[in-house]
Chain A
Amino acid sequence: MRRVMSWRALGLIATVASGGCEAWDVFDTQFEPVEPAVMYADRTPEPATAPNGSLRVMNWNVKYGGGRLDFFFDCHGNRGVMKAAEVRAHLDGIAAKIREVDPDVLFVQEVDVASKRSAYIDQVQYLLDHTDLNHAAYASQWRADFVPSDGVGRVDSGQAVLSRWPLHDAKRLALPLVGEYDALKRYFYLQRALLEARVEVPGVEGGLWTVVVHTEAYSHDGTKERQIALFEQHLDQLAAEGKTFVAGGDLNTLPPGSDKVQDFPDAVCTDQAYRDDDYSQEADVLAGLYAKYDPETPLADYQADNAAYFTHTVDGRAFWNRKLDYLFTNGRFVPGSGVTFQDEFDGPGCEAGTCLPTMPLSDHAPVAVDLELAP
C-alpha cells in the first residue's frame, strides 16, 4: 500500500511539474498550431537558372548527421552525443550525395539545427553552404532547452525544404501529439508537423507548393494514422485550390501490398514502447495517397519487387529492408525517373557502381524523381 501511495504521489508530482512546465514552457518545447517556418539562405549562393521542362525533387531522412553510428534509441548501441568532426564527416558525405543527385528541391527530415547530440552544428545551413541549393525553410518538431533523459540535453531537430529558388509562405502546421504518453513525457517529446512552402520556380505561374512530413514512429494509439490522414487532407486541400504540389517525407509506414509487414530482423528493442516493426494494422493507410496522387515509385513497380525500393534499416551492417520514404504530386512525375538510391549502382550514370553509396550516410536511403513542368 505504501508503494502504491508513493507511486501515486510521484505521479501527482510529475503531473503538477509537467503542468507547470507546459503553462510556463520553461524548457521552450511548445509550438503554436501554425507558426512561420525559419528561413535560411546560402551564404555563397550559386546561380539558379530556370528549369528546362522538368525539375528534380529529392527526399532524404538524414538522421541528424549520425551516419551509421548506433544510437541508444535504435537499441543497437549506446551512442548519444557526437563530436563535431563526426557530424561534419557525415554531412560532407550527405552533401556530396546531394550534389551527385543534383536536385532542384530537396526535402530533409531529422535535420538538426541546434542539438547537443550533433555538436550544435546547424545542418540546414551546412547543407545549403555545401550544395547548389540556395534557400531553405525549416520547421522544428523536437525542440527543448534541455531534455533530462538519456543525455539528450538541448535539441532542435526537424524537417526542411531546400531549393535553388526562393521560398515563400513557409509555415509549420502542427500535427496531433501522441496521446498514450504521460504529460511529462509529452512535454519533452517530439511534436510532429507539416512544413509547407511555395517555391518560386522561374516560369511556373503560382510556383510549386511543397509539403514535408515526418510522422510518428512509435505510437500504438493511432496517432501515426491520424497524422497521415491530416497530411492527405492537406494535400487534398491544396489540390482543390488548384495548387500544384510535391509532397513527401518519412511516413514511417509501408506501401499497400508489402510482402513483409512485421518482425524485421533489425528491430531489436525489447521495450515494446520503442518497437516500430509491426505495420500489420496499417496495410491501407497510404492507399488514399497512392490512389489520388502520382508517387515517385509506381505502386505496381513496388509490388512487383519490394526490395528494389526499400529505404530503411537501423542496422548498418545489413541492407535496406522496408520502404518508409515517399514523394507524391498532384502534377505528373516523369515516367521512369524515380530512383531509390540504395547503393553505388543507383542513379543516372551509376550503372558501373561509380556513385556514392548511401548506406554509410544515414539509416534512410534517399529517393528522387523528376517533376514535369507544364509547357
Chain B
Amino acid sequence: MKAPVRACCGVLSLVASAHAFAAPQGPAGPDELRPKLEAHEADEQSLPESSVPTPHAPWSGQTARTVAPGDWEIGVFAPLRYGLTERVELSTHALANLLMPNLTAKVLWRASEHLVLSSEHTLAYPTPLIETLSRAGTGGLWAEETVTPTIVAFHSHVLATWLPEGLPRAPSTEDRRHALTARAGVRAAASFGRANLTTADLWYLYERTAHWVNGATLDATLAAEGPIAGPFDYFADVTLFVLLGGEYEDGSPVWNHSAGLAWRAGSSVRVEAGWWLSAGDFPGPDDWQLLPRFDVAFRW
C-alpha cells in the first residue's frame, strides 16, 4: 500500500532536490558544471567558449544528456520535453495525459569530458486509459468485463552516455556527435482494489505495460547515434525487457530493436525514419514483428 506513495515522493523529492541543486544559490553541484550554470544566464549566441563541457543536447531522447534550460521539444510520437533547469528535464506524452497522466523527470548527475550520467523517473496513472479501452466493440483493447484497479506506475532508469569526441564546450542546436548510451532500470506498478485486468498482448504495448498487471519489468537498452553526412544522422538501439511475475510470464525476455536515419531539417525540425523490431517470449507462441518507425519532432 505504501509503495506508490514512497515512489511518488521519491520522484518529486528527487526533482526538487535536483532543482535546488542547480540553482545558483543552492548547494554546490559537481565542480565541472558550476561555471556552466552562470554562463547560461547569458544569451546562448553570446556564450564564450567554455573550458568545461555542456551536458545539454538537442533531441535528448536516447541519451543521458538533457535539453537546455528553457528549451522545448516535441514529436508526433516523442514526448514533450522541457529543460526545467541545468540539471532537470521534464517530459510528458502530452496527448496521453488526457487518459493517462504521466510525467518524467530526467536528472543529470554528472558530466565529465566524455561521460554523462543521469537518471530518469516516471510517474503515470493508467487507470482511466484502461477503463476507457475496456469496452465492447471496436477499440476494446481489454474485455468489457475488466475490473480495473487503481494503478500507479513508476519507472526508474539510470543512463550513461559516452561520447568519444567529448562533450561540446557550449550548447548548440547544431551539436551532432557520436554517442553510445546504456540505460537500465525497472518499471513497476502498485495496484489497489479488486481487479481482473489482463496484459495487453500486442507487441510494443505488451512489454511496456505488462508491469501494470504483473508488478514489475526490468529493462536495459544500448543505443547509439551520431552524424553520417550532411544533415543526416543515424540511430540504433536494442532493448531487453525481462517481465517478472504474471500468469503467463516467468522472467520471459522480449527484445526490441530499432534503427534508422534522422534528417535535421534546420535547427528546429528533425525527421526520423527507420524500422522497429519486437521479438521474444510473448504470451502464447513466441512471435516477432517488424514495423516502420517514423517521427517528426520540433524544438524551440
Contacts and interface: CB of A to CB of B under 8 A. Distances in A.
B139 A151 contact: no
Contacts of A153: 141, 198, 200-202
Contacts of B248: 119-120
B283 A120 contact: yes
B48 interface: no
A370 interface: no
Given A26-B289, A81-B198, A153-B202, A120 B284 contact: yes
Contacts of A114: 284-285
Contacts of A116: 198, 201, 283-284
B140 A148 contact: yes
A183 B161 CA distance: 47
Contact of A151 (B146, B284, B289): B146
Contacts, number: 76
Interface in A152-173: 152-154, 156
A119 B247 contact: yes
Interface string A67-99: 000001000001111011000000000000000
A221 interface: no
Interface band, chain A:
20 to 34
B191 interface: no
A81 B143 contact: yes
Interface string B254-298: 000000000000000000000000000011110101010000000
B206 to A, nearest CB: 9
Residues of B contacting A: mostly: loop
Interface string A230-265: 000000000000000000000000000000000000
A216 B17 CA distance: 64
A119 B248 CA distance: 8
A146 interface: yes
Interface stretch (B21-29, B82-90, B130-138): B130-138
B172 to A, nearest CB: 40
Contacts of B136: 72, 78, 150
Residues of A contacting B: mostly: loop
A154 B282 CA distance: 10
Contacts of B241: none
Nearest to B198: A81
A51 to B, nearest CB: 35
Interface string B108-149: 000000000000000000000000001111111111111000
A375 to B, nearest CB: 45
B203 interface: yes
Interface in A136-192: 145-146, 148-154, 156
Interface band, chain B:
20 to 34
Contacts of A149: 137-140
B145 A79 contact: yes
B141 A148 contact: yes
Contacts of A151: 134, 140-146, 198
Contact of B201 (A80, A150, A154): A154
A359 to B, nearest CB: 23
Most chain B CB atoms below 10 A, which of A114, A146, A150: A150
Given A116-B201, A120-B283, A150 B140 contact: yes
Contacts of B144: 72, 78, 80, 150-151
A145 B287 CA distance: 9
Nearest to B144: A78
Interface in B178-225: 196, 198, 200-203
Task: Please provide the 3 A-B residue pairs with the shortest distance between their CB atoms, ordered closest to farther.
Answer: A80-B143, A151-B143, A114-B284
17 contacts: A78-B143, A78-B145, A81-B196, A119-B248, A145-B202, A145-B289, A148-B139, A148-B141, A149-B137, A149-B140, A150-B137, A151-B141, A151-B143, A153-B200, A153-B201, A154-B201, A154-B284
Interface of A: 26, 72, 78-81, 83-84, 114-116, 119-120, 145-146, 148-154, 156
